[in-house]
Structure 1
Amino acid sequence: MTDASPLPSFDELRERAVVVALPLRVRFRGLDVREALLLEGPAGWTEFSPFAEYGDDEAATWLEAALDYGWQELPEPKRTEIMVNATVPAVPAASVADVLARFPGCRTAKVKVAEPGQRLADDVERVRAVRHELGAEGRIRVDANGGWNVDEAEHAVHALAEFDLEYIEQPCASIDELVQLRERIRYLDIPIAADESVRKAEDPVAVARAGAADLLVIKAQPLGGIRRALDIVERAGLPVIVSSALDTAIGLSMGAALAAALPDLDYDCGLGTSALFDTDVASFAPRAGTIAVGRIWPDADALERLAAPPERREWWLARLERCLAVISAREGR
């Protein structure tokens, strides 16, 4: 929402709210089911889906993004479709081919590594299987979600370097660790991308200012919406990749609108994750390696079929009310 725009009331939002629960094909980020609260705003459908463990202050930023997307007009798009990557969860190497088959035409794969309870050897075999499936021309990026310390990350990068990595995403948790690692692996010419150091930071540009990353991964919901994300990109002055937060098709369309509005977009984006669901609220899986830009509307039958149980709907509505109060307090309304 812009500063001049009045916030909708909780009663208005409650009347517009639909809570859904989408089963995942493969366990991802510790989840078997992804819940989301969808809202039909004056400008179109939007999504509020911070992960359950997030506190209200962090979740309120996701609500600001939802209100911005559902109540405001979009920035002028500079492209009509977005190239997207396949997303490979921390599955056994034998399952890689089945996962990649859900992303037809994608030339790039992002592979999850550093999964708790797994070993580096598991990561190596998973990435090896991806390289085998994509061939020499395919692009591979790995995402550690900050799971390694500097020594572990350096060791992992050396173990994975033979697979010609496009970049490594958030190998370590802190900016200081990223600075150290970037210096240690500089000679390997493998870029470092920052994700959590952007979306979970009080100052999302600090990682760029510190010279801790070569690229930024930006996500519309966690950063408070499309306009705020565009401002971060402008201030950071680094190339970016737009990625999802395991959104439904509605949230992915928000991400696509952000990607479409960027002045430059040189990397395939992580916005094809609808393919990880058994079914979604609308058709938004990649086709020929791309997704279309534009607002979408959920399928009425899908909303009914995927409706969350009543107790989960009440949980989300209570969270919505609390987060709306956080936004009102922030803005002094």
Structure 2
Amino acid sequence: MTLPPLDEMLADAHVVALPMHTRFRGVQVREAMLFEGPSGWTEFSPFVEYDDLESAAWLAAAVEFGWEERPAPVRETVPVNATVPAVPADAVRAVLARFHGCRTAKVKVAERGQSLADDIARVREVRERMGPEGRIRVDANGGWNVDEAEHALHALAPYDLEYAEQPCASIDELAQLRERVAYMGIPIAADESVRKADDPLRVARAGAADLLVVKAQPLGGVRRARDLVAASGLPAVVSSALDTSVGIAMGVALAAALPELDYDCGLGTGSLFVSDVADPPLQPRDGALAVTAVVPDAARLEALAASGDRREWWRKRLTRCHALLAAG
């Protein structure tokens, strides 16, 4: 990777703050830094709590997508799922209505401050709304221990789960749980155990997951994520990191470049935003996203611009992460 000069990136950077319909992952307003490189628009948007070392991988992804040739797609559209935050059951209908044509839903569970009864009510409502042919997956973000996860999946199994994403935090816990719940026929997917791991292939070698959830930005770019999937020997779901339409386009490029795509991808999260940088935003139509370049709308970049102090915060963060990449 050839790292563009820092001054060039700073001069072209746009910092935006996107309001969300519902708090998601503890985020009500999503901040991101956008650039236009020789290959098109790209995004740098590690979550604000991430340290510089972890965030540097996100910058490597942004540079690859904006300054290097993009992999050739093997498909023209990518099927995507609806994403249901940890909302009350009576709010599910309004959430699903924002995901046009999606027949798969990922439902957040194990939210801090909520109970298993809340999760069951939410999943039950999604099943009722989607009908017997809809596919439902749950995502606990590592919020359960092994016993809690086994109990929760047993309680949720009647709603016909496609898989459970990161039910426990550690790889050892995932391996134990996968063995315990094999009789239920609920596959285990690994997300944080891939994108936040020093060795993202360890979860596959440990037999701790049936499939991987991969995200282009946290894994350092489209090519690195694609190569990781190939090396793992497991099927993959490509997901977003709560990106703007620009960042989602990076995920779509990854999904479009995978030789096999057995699952709907978690790239419909643009529907969680009140407003986005593109006009129209990259959101599902008939349950899929087109493989396309995204160019932000100038008026929206201006309207969604972050405050001066937040722009300065991101500029300093970019400077530090650029130095880490430059140092190898």
Answer whether TM exceeds 0.5 for this pair: yes
Q: Percent identity?
A: 68
In structure 2, what is the equivalent of residue 313 of structure 1?
A: 311
Take 2:7 and 2:188, find their aligned partners in 1: how far apart are those partners?
44
Query: After superposition, what is the alpha-carbon deviation per residue over 1:107-152, rounded to whole angstroms, capped at 9, x for unaligned?
Result: 0000000000000000000000000000000000000000000000
Q: How far is the alpha carbon of 1:84 from its aligned partner?
A: 0.4
C-alpha separation in 2, matches of 1:179 and 1:14 = 44
User: Could you tell me which residue of structure 1 aligns to residue 321 of structure 2?
Assistant: 323
Per the TM alignment, residue 329 of structure 1 is displaced from its structure 2 partner at its CA by: 1.3
**Structure 2: which 5+ residue stretches go unaligned?**
none
In 1, the alpha carbon distance for the partners of 2:295 and 2:308 equals 23
Task: After TM superposition, give the deviation of residue 328 of structure 1 in Å.
Answer: 1.1
User: Secondary structure, in 3 states, of the residue corresponding to 1:32?
Assistant: strand
- Distance of 1:270 and 1:175 partners within structure 2: 22
Is 2:70 aligned against 1:74?
Answer: yes
Partner of 2:188: 192
Deviations 1:11-38 (A, max 9, x none): 1001110000000000111011000000
1:147 equivalent in structure 2? 143
- The one-letter code of the counterpart of 2:183 is Y
Cα distance between partner residues in 1 of 2:24 and 2:296: 23
- 1:87 corresponds to which of 76, 83, 86: 83
Question: How far off is 1:202 after superposition?
Answer: 0.5
| Matching residue of 1:57 | 53
- Please show how residues 1-333 of structure 1 align to structure 2 within 5 Å: 2=1, 5=2, 7-282=3-278, 283-330=281-328
Hey, what's the Cα distance between the residues in 2 that align with 1:264 and 1:278?
Answer: 33
- Gaps in structure 1 of 5+ consecutive residues: none
Output one character per residue of 1:218-268: Cα deviation in whole Å (capped at 9) or x when no partner. Answer: 000000000100110111000000000000000000000000000000100
Partner secondary structure for residue 111 of structure 1: strand
1:211 CA drift (Å)? 0.2
- Distance (Å, rounded) in 1 between the aligned partners of 2:207 and 2:34: 38
CA shift for structure 1 position 89: 0.1
Q: Which amino acid aligns with 1:325?
A: A
Look up the equivalent residue of 1:33 and give its one-letter code.
Answer: V
Whichever residue aligns with residue 308 of structure 1, its letter is A
| Separation (CA, whole Å) in 2 of partners of 1:48 and 1:104 | 27
Residue 285 of structure 1 and its aligned partner are, at CA, apart by: 1.1
The RMSD of aligned alpha carbons is 0.5
Residue 73 of structure 1, CA deviation: 1.0
Matched AA of 1:86: A
**What secondary structure is seen at the aligned counterpart in 1 of 2:19?**
strand
**Structure 1: how far apart are the matches of 2:327 and 2:69?**
25
Q: Give the TM-score of the pair, scaled to structure 2.
A: 0.99
Q: Deviations over 1:250-296 (max 9, x none)?
A: 00000000000000001000000000000100111111111110211
For residues 130 and 302 of structure 1, the distance between their equivalents in structure 2, rounded to whole angstroms, comes to: 33
Once residues 76 and 42 of structure 1 are traced to their aligned partners in structure 2, the CA distance between those partners, rounded to angstroms, is 17
Displacement of 1:213 in angstroms is 0.2
- What secondary structure is seen at the aligned counterpart in 2 of 1:96? helix
Count, aligned residues: 326
Equivalent-residue separation in structure 2 for 1:302 and 1:292 (angstroms) = 21
